[in-house]
Structure 1
Amino acid sequence: MTQELGLRERKKLETRVTLWRTAMRLFLERGFDNVSVAEIAAGANVSKMTVFNYFQAKEELVLGPMTAHVGEPAEVVRERGVGETPVDALRRHFLDALRERNPVAGLNDDPQILGVHRLILDTPSLRHGAMAVRERNEHLLAAEFERELARPGDLACRVAANQILNVRQILIARTIERLAAGASADEVYPVAVAEAEEAFAQLADGLGSFCPRAG
């Protein structure tokens, strides 16, 4: 029974990957708005309903990996170590992502990952979706600060969350720009680390008066 379940889950994963790769190939060839769900289904040799069984909307084929990380900054803050400040925890998490070449930090030079970034920049509906993900993360991070400080609705919590995520976004955008210009992830890595260290140090200084419990 366990072996059968494993096979079923493996087939689901294979189908999901096939759909994503087919969609990305078509999007990059013709543009996001010029490809229909029916064409993606045909390219993957499945039914249109199968596509919707795996992805609720066409936008999710591109934004799905991003939405999978919704709430992650708040979770990092909530689960940080004793004595670690929120900024220090998020710095550690970001540097770990850079070292692992995790797309969440922008440092991944896989052509299809770079294609996702390009699609988002070039497509208004995808840009809007990416902004919604960013706003959701800000809301959840601010809510975590409010919970720790027992200050629901506090403006300082929202401002702090906004500043932190803006810094992260700037770092990610600069890294993606370098990759798009032709540099490899390995070439960009030391620069990305140095900029992250500098940016998070500035954050720590700027948010010195706002620091939820140290542990």
Structure 2
Amino acid sequence: MSGLRERKKRLTYEAISEAAIALFLEKGFDRVSVAEVAAAADVSKPTLFRYFPAKEDLVLHRFADHQDEAARVVRARPAHTGPLDALHRHFLDGLARRDPVTGLSDEPSVLAFHRLLYGTPSLVARLYAYQGTSERVLAEALGEVFGGEAVGPAADGVVAGGVAARLAAGQIVAVLRILAEENWRRISAGETAGAVEPDAMAAADLAFRQLGEGLRLRA
């Protein structure tokens, strides 16, 4: 029974968000009230806020499942594979399958969603908060992997494992964001995903190579 309840809650969650995004795409994020979204989704405002604490979350729920993605990749990586290598491969795989999170998607619905997201300052600000969560849980995963060992260089010797894990996570999350934003920037300017893909792959290789030279996360 609990499984059925969870499934119904998930369906309601997704239905509210999809109704909201449709309205935002039609009228603009700032021109749609929460009351309009609740009416379109056929729920009350209190119900809506139980699922989505802030208006911006109605859009960004699509990123919610990705907040712990990097941490999951680190924890599930194959034996004898370093965290950085696992994250690099995961991002390349995402590019290959045109995962919207990588920015390398020219599907019309994805383009419209990204224009809504990146064209609305409050959504961009909320997205950074989501990425802050990604950074925190990735740091926790890296801390589990390396324990008290140092995972990065320091000017005056060795950085303690916890601090180094946070520094590493911050750099990794920033790299993933920049790679995705660059792919989106080119596609939004009119290039196809196929045309951008070779450069996107090369940029990912460069980014992770630079991380590897500065962070001791290789197996």
Interval containing the TM-score (normalised by the shorter chain): 0.7 to 0.9
1:74 — aligned with what? 71
> Which whole-Å CA distance do the structure 2 matches of 1:159 and 1:16 have between them?
34
Matches within 5 A, 1:48-67: 48-49=44-45, 51-52=48-49, 55-67=52-64
2:213 — aligned with what? 205
Unaligned runs of 5+ in 2: 149-159
> Which whole-Å CA distance do the structure 2 matches of 1:193 and 1:55 have between them?
35
2:156 — aligned with what? none
> Which whole-Å CA distance do the structure 2 matches of 1:202 and 1:124 have between them?
30
Matches within 5 A, 1:55-204: 55-151=52-148, 154-204=162-212
> Which whole-Å CA distance do the structure 2 matches of 1:48 and 1:111 have between them?
31
Contact conserved, 1:37 with 1:48, CA < 8 A, in 2?
A: no
AA at the equivalent of 2:43: S
Q: CA deviation at 1:53?
A: 6.3
AA at the equivalent of 1:47: V
Contact conserved, 1:24 with 1:112, CA < 8 A, in 2?
A: no
Q: CA deviation at 1:200?
A: 1.2
Contact conserved, 2:183 with 2:196, CA < 8 A, in 1?
A: yes
Q: TM-score, normalised by structure 2?
A: 0.80
Instruction: From 28, 33, 39, give the equivalent of 1:31.
Output: 28
Q: State the Cα deviation string for residues 74-131 of structure 1 (Å, max 9, x = none).
A: 1111111111111110011101111111112112222332233223333333222111
Q: TM-score, normalised by structure 1?
A: 0.81
Cα RMSD of the aligned pairs, angstroms, is: 2.8
Contact conserved, 1:138 with 1:165, CA < 8 A, in 2?
A: yes
Q: SS at 2:61's partner residue?
A: helix
> Which whole-Å CA distance do the structure 2 matches of 1:17 and 1:158 have between them?
32
Q: State the Cα deviation string for residues 136-181 of structure 1 (Å, max 9, x = none).
A: 1111111222222222862221111111111111110000001111
AA at the equivalent of 2:96: R
Unaligned runs of 5+ in 1: none
1:22 — aligned with what? 19
> Which whole-Å CA distance do the structure 1 matches of 2:136 and 2:18 have between them?
32
> Which whole-Å CA distance do the structure 2 matches of 1:199 and 1:118 have between them?
25
Contact conserved, 1:102 with 1:108, CA < 8 A, in 2?
A: yes
